Amino acid sequence: MSVVNRVIEGDNLAVLASMADGAVDLIYVDPPFNTGRVQSRSTTTARRQGASLTPARSHAGFQGVAYERIRTDLKSYDDRFDDYWSFLEPRLIEAWRVLSPTGTLYLHLDYREAHYAKVLLDAIFGRESFINEIIWAYDFGGKPKNRWPAKHDTILMYVKDPARYTFNAEDVEREPYMAPGLVTPEKAARGKMPTDVWWHTIVSPTGKEKTGYPTQKPEGILRRIIAASSNPGDRVLDFFAGSGTTGFVAHELGRPFTLVDENPEALAVMRTRFASIDVDFTRAD
Domain boundaries, the chain: 5-283
**Which residues of the chain are modeled with pLDDT < 50?**
1, 35-66, 75-79, 81
- CA dist., res. 156 & res. 233, Å (int): 24
- CA dist., res. 135 & res. 33, Å (int): 16
* pTM listed for this prediction: 0.84
Output DSSP code: residue 175.
Answer: B
Q: What is the pLDDT of residue 214?
A: 80
Q: What is the pLDDT of residue 222?
A: 97
Q: What is the pLDDT of residue 78?
A: 46
Statement: 5-283 belongs to CATH 3.40.640.10: no
Sequence-ordered strand ranges (E) for the chain: 5-9, 24-29, 99-109, 130-137, 152-159, 197-199, 236-238, 257-261, 279-283
